Amino acid sequence: MPELPDVEGFRRVVADHATGSEVRSVRVLDPGVVHTSATGFTRALEGRVLGEPIRWGKWLRVPTRSRPEYPQLLAHFGMTGAFVWTSGEDADHRHDRVVFEFRDGSLRYRDMRKLTGLWLATEESDVAELLGELGPDAAGVSRRDLRERLTRTSRRLKPALMDQTAVAGLGNLCVDEILWRSRLAPTRSTADLDSAQWARLHARLRSVLRSSSRVGHVPDRPSWLTGHRDERDARCPRCSTALKRSRIGGRSTVWCPQCQPC
């Protein structure tokens, strides 16, 4: 599932290839992923020059270079979505849903499962309606804000960190990796952490997101929990203890009972 690091990678695709370029045409191959009329969507964006994309959590905003910066394209990538750039006369992929044509290539919204899609914002109230309940972006949240937002109610760490209204952008892989590096069990209550543990949690959150955002996904390196979570005999890369697996907050969760005691 695309999380903050993945969406940061998609942001770079747009920034590197489409920012400052005119949308020559828009081909809506699957109207089901466009949350407005396909005709209105196409007319609003064709002939527009795209501005610098902005990521907020798992969402991507792409303004146009007009005054004000509307219409704007808003994208959410669900479980399997992505922005992909192709050059030349590449044939459409079977999972291409919307294709934005430029002079030197195409930006493609590609999605197998089609759980979310693309929106068109014509004014700020449209953006507020879609994103207004999101918490601060996880990559920039302060230690104080993180603690304050996660302790408004007493709950387990894993669901609290994945609550997009508390902090935006964290998904299953990110949260498990952050908690493993913080040596905190996913079942710990947010009310039980002391100041040193909050400081460590915030520092590991920042470092995991920095490293992951550089490569555009949570990497499955041998030194990372993510690199072992899907192994048959999964063991902690730090202490070799057999990893535990269960569902917490409705999500498959992996942790080390030795490094992350309850």
> Which uninterrupted H or E stretch holds 257?
none
Pair (111, 149) in one structural domain: no
Average pLDDT, the chain: 96
- In a domain? residue 261: no
pTM: 0.95
Pair (8, 124) in one structural domain: yes
List the catalytic residues. 2-3, 58, 251
Pair (120, 216) in one structural domain: no
Q: Of 72, 106, 131, which closes a domain?
A: 131
Pair (192, 116) in one structural domain: no
The whole-number pLDDT of residue 122 equals: 95
Return the structure tokens found at 234.
């999964």
- Sign of the Cα torsion 133, 137, 142, 146 reads positive
Which segments of the chain does DSSP mark as H helices, in order?
A: 4-17, 38-45, 124-131, 143-150, 157-162, 172-182, 195-215
Pair (110, 189) in one structural domain: no
Q: Which of 1-5, 87-91, 115-119 has the lowest mean pLDDT?
A: 87-91
What CATH number is given to the structural domain containing 116? 3.20.190.10
Give the whole-angstrom CA distance, residue 135 versus residue 147: 13
The whole-number pLDDT of residue 69 equals: 84
Return the structure tokens found at 86.
């192709």
Q: Span 157-175, mean pLDDT?
A: 97
> Which segments of the chain are extended strands (E)?
25-28, 54-56, 59-62, 72-76, 82-86, 96-102, 105-110, 117-121, 244-248, 251-255
Q: Which of 174, 181, 173 is nearest to 197 (CA)?
A: 181
- In a domain? residue 127: yes
Q: Which structural domain, as residue segments, surrounds residue 203? A: 143-255
Cβ count within 10 A of residue 81:
27
- 134 and 59 in contact (C-beta within 8 Å)? yes
What CATH number is given to the structural domain containing 148? 1.10.8.50
The whole-number pLDDT of residue 66 equals: 85
Residues 25-82: tens digit of each pLDDT: 999 999 999 999 999 999 999 999 999 999 999 999 999 998 888 999 999 999 999 9
Q: Of 76, 107, 131, which closes a domain?
A: 131
The whole-number pLDDT of residue 166 equals: 97
Give the whole-angstrom CA distance, residue 196 versus residue 148: 15
- In a domain? residue 138: no
Residue 18 has pLDDT above 90, yes or no: yes
Give the whole-angstrom CA distance, residue 247 versus residue 245: 7
- 79 and 110 in contact (C-beta within 8 Å)? no
- In a domain? residue 46: yes
Residue 158 has pLDDT above 90, yes or no: yes
Q: Which of 233, 232, 234, 239 is nearest to 254 (CA)?
A: 234
Residue 261 has pLDDT above 90, yes or no: yes
Residues 184-221: tens digit of each pLDDT: 999 999 999 999 999 999 999 999 999 999 999 999 99
- In a domain? residue 260: no
